[in-house]
Amino acid sequence: MTRFARAFGLLFQLYDDMLDHSTFAQETGKDVQQDAAKTTLLSLYTPEEVRGALSNAQALAREQLRRAGHDESLLAAFVEQQFVTFDGAAQRLGV
């Protein structure tokens, strides 16, 4: 479960950085540009790499659930729902 948590944490952090990078406060529902002076994951990746990293983190999270021998149905559904949310936001924000 620790490996799952790390993979899901990366997924969340990429998404959070992506939202902060946007200029659409109404779209994101949070204050934006709060990390402008910080080195974030998004500042290290191209938009294509962000999408790939999101996809890879999602796949890794699911794999870690399987390897841990847990019934992945509920957690996998949660991961899938979050990824759809992340992916949709990435598309709307042009990432």
* pLDDT per residue as tens digits for the range 51-61: 788 788 888 88
Query: What is residue 92's predicted lDDT score, i.e. its pLDDT?
Result: 61
Helices (H), ranges, the chain: 2-21, 25-28, 41-44, 47-67, 73-92
pLDDT at 25 over 50: no
Sole residue written with tokens 């729902």 = 81
Which tokens belong to 57?
Answer: 């983190």
Q: Quick one: average pLDDT of 69-89? A: 69
Number of domains in the chain: 1
Q: Answer yes or no: pTM beyond 0.85.
A: no
Host domain of residue 37: 2-92
Within 8 A by CB and 6+ apart from 22, the residues are 28, 32, 93
Query: Which amino acid is it at 54?
Result: L
- Across 27-31, 37-41, 64-68, least confident range: 27-31
